[in-house]
Chains A and B, each alone.
Chain A
């Protein structure tokens, strides 16, 4: 298992995933959408598990990839 965050394309069928992400949020209020996103972050973070990768992911999301 690599302890390096993947920042190159890694999802098969990226367009499908993106559509599914939006569909999951469809019809939700802003508050419910925000809550869903927060849960999604936690679910994905747990799946990744690797603390070093998570730290890199937080930095990448903050658009501070070199941190």
Chain B
């Protein structure tokens, strides 16, 4: 049977641009049709901005790769119109077990907060995530949206200019040139775009190798995340077992630094390792095996004139905590509305520098968290291992030590504290909705809050008066009027008011809070709109 990742999803097809007498100019060219590139393209296209995605391949991700998609990512996917198949297909889990040596030291239930439309996270192979995004692209195309994906279009040269970018592209039928007003590089950790522009990518190398295997088996392991520290079947190292859809299990085995990668990848070496882990009597089939090393690093700047970097091309983290694809989608979520306003002449180009500032801040947070997880999972000194093992030994007996066990801190949305787009917090409301925060969802009767806050600036009023529409500096802000009287679960009050009786929030198109006050003050909110769009 052909796996989805073996089927060309966007096969090469000759485009009229290749026969044009002069390079054709596009509005936005996205490099890379991974989850981040597709996310950027869908976001722009569904808001009417013409976009072309170039990919050197013609298939979705080979092997499962990213498998853990967090709530914020699913909320973004909801805004992009492709969350349903992801959530339907994805595996949800709540229970995790932690093993140390030959014993289970504790288990936990995540007990996700109620009152959110999206689950805390799902496990889903990256190839499905991409497939559903490609389906969404096809749907948008059928609706006439200006979006296309060109497979086996490999960028071979890039020229940067003050007001556009020139791109040379190799195809199976020779090369051609294009121009773009803007370019978004989402071409992964090894970003050829970054290399072609000669930009640095510095950080910390972790001297370790991980064997990663997708195994198809009919085993009755429960739908739980199992993490082993120093297990008998992989002495001195770690291991992870995680369930994906279709009876595929993801296994990560730490191998250490001094290994022969090609040798370790061979089935005759992989299978005995897996049998030692799963037991001799379990029947399984290897779907995909890879060995990865990782680094924690980022570009110094994510914006270089008209070229914007997003996802792994801009920053790379260790896989612990699912902060790769999840943070990449937060990049494009942050970028696309800003790019749209700049392209429409409604915001100065400098608004894009706030993309750099906010997402560099987010990348640093992710690098910090994933470096800490990595230091716990793979201690780098005798003392570090001593404390790690002490935490694990204590965790078996005492609850206090369990929060110190770090097998990956799951990706949560970044709060852009200190962003130049924020207005000073003027509401003594909950910290989780302070300016810079991603809005938490809340039930509104049969519907949910977040879809009502998507794609445009919104003035959310809770038991407060305000005009239905405000126009400021070319930006139209519509009011969403809510009341705690209709808030049966009190989630809205708890998340947006706390002890306050009323609140007015200015919310950005990416559902982050720009400003909040107890009541509507016209001058203050007009200033907040200008600030949030880089106009002051």
Contact = CB atoms under 8 A, between A and B. Distances in A.
Tell whether A and B belong to one assembly.
yes
Interface of A: 34-35, 38-39, 41-43, 46
Nearest to A40: B390
A35 B400 contact: no
B387 A38 contact: yes
B454 interface: no
Contacts of A43: 394, 398, 400
A46 B390 contact: no
B38 interface: no
Interface in B386-408: 386-387, 389-391, 393-394, 398, 400-401, 404
25 contacts: A34-B386, A35-B386, A35-B389, A35-B390, A35-B393, A38-B386, A38-B387, A38-B389, A38-B390, A39-B390, A39-B393, A39-B394, A41-B387, A41-B390, A42-B387, A42-B390, A42-B391, A42-B394, A42-B401, A42-B404, A43-B394, A43-B398, A43-B400, A46-B400, A46-B401
A39 B387 CA distance: 7
Contacts of B401: 42, 46
A38 B390 CA distance: 6
Nearest to B397: A39
A41 B386 CA distance: 11
Given A39-B393, A41-B387, A46-B401, 12 more contacts: A35-B386, A35-B389, A35-B393, A38-B389, A38-B390, A42-B390, A42-B391, A42-B401, A42-B404, A43-B394, A43-B398, A43-B400
A36 B404 CA distance: 17
A6 B109 CA distance: 38
Contacts of B404: 42
A36 B383 CA distance: 13
A43 B404 CA distance: 12
B166 to A, nearest CB: 53
Contacts of B389: 35, 38
* From B386, B389, B404, residue with most partner A Cβ within 10 Å: B386
A35 to B, nearest CB: 6
A41 B404 CA distance: 13
Contacts of B386: 34-35, 38
Nearest to B387: A38
B379 to A, nearest CB: 12
A13 to B, nearest CB: 26
Contacts of B400: 43, 46
A15 to B, nearest CB: 27
B133 to A, nearest CB: 42
A38 B388 CA distance: 9
Contacts of B394: 39, 42-43
Contacts of A35: 386, 389-390, 393
B375 to A, nearest CB: 15
Q: For A35, A39, A46, which residue has the most chain B Cβ atoms within 10 angstroms?
A: A39
3 closest A-B pairs by beta carbon, nearest first, are: A38-B390, A46-B400, A39-B390
Contacts of A41: 387, 390
B390 to A, nearest CB: 4
B380 to A, nearest CB: 16
Interface string B439-465: 000000000000000000000000000
A1 B389 CA distance: 31
A46 B400 CA distance: 7
Interface string B227-271: 000000000000000000000000000000000000000000000
A59 to B, nearest CB: 17
Contacts of B391: 42
A43 B387 CA distance: 12
Nearest to A47: B400
A41 B398 CA distance: 14
Contacts of B393: 35, 39
B505 to A, nearest CB: 31
B105 to A, nearest CB: 13
Contacts of A39: 390, 393-394
B381 to A, nearest CB: 13
A39 B400 CA distance: 12
